[in-house]
Amino acid sequence: MTLSVSYPNQYRNYCVFNQEKINQKIAGGEKSIPEIKFVLENSDSEDEILEELYALNLMLDNGINKKSVAEMYPTLSKFNDTKSPNIQTYLAGIYRKTKVPDGFGPLVKMLIQDSINPQKDCHFDPTEEIGGAILDYLA
């Protein structure tokens, strides 16, 4: 299956992925984690990174063990300094759901960074997800 990511545009404020490929990862459950981790550790492709982060988000929504994903923090932290609003949004969602303690600081940094230098040509506001994640940490 080929990689296919459609980015947000003036008509849609979210990414669209190859749902068949995503569904296979979700169906694999915990067994998909090593593959996702490998891609995140070795890829520089925003498309690939987004696809893996999106799959992790959905897996968390579908009840995968949060601890399995939280243990991936050393891999996920590679993206803490990203300027990509898409990666920031999915990363904030993962941190929000796992509440890994080390994720709080990077979320605050992303929020400040995006407040000082708002994303240009972005069809959504990543600070909404980042701020929501911070509020969940504080709750």
**8 falls within a domain:** no
Q: Which domain range does residue 123 map to? A: 19-138
pLDDT for res 4: 75
Per-residue model confidence as pLDDT tens for the chain (139 residues): 556 799 999 999 999 999 999 999 999 999 999 999 999 999 999 999 999 999 999 999 999 999 999 999 999 999 999 999 999 999 999 999 999 999 999 999 999 999 999 888 888 889 999 999 999 999 8
Confidence at residue 122, expressed as pLDDT on a 0 to 100 scale: 84
**Count of domains observed in the chain:** 1
From the number of C-beta atoms within 10 Å of its C-beta (0-12, 13-18, 19+), residue 77 rates as middle
Quote the tokens at residue 62.
Answer: 């579908």
Judge whether 38 lies within some domain: yes
In a domain, 93, yes or no: yes
12 within some domain? no
Chain-centroid distance, C-alpha 5: 14
pLDDT for the residue 121: 80
pLDDT, position 1: 52
**Considering the domain boundaries, does residue 14 fall inside one?**
no
Q: What is the DSSP string of the chain?
A: -----B--BTTBSS-B--HHHHHHHHHHGGGGHHHHHHHHHH---HHHHHHHHHHHHHHHHTT--HHHHHTTHHHHGGGTT---HHHHHHHHHHHHHH--GGGHHHHHHHHHHHHHSPPTT-SS-HHHHHHHHHHHHH-
CATH of the domain at 47: 1.25.10.10
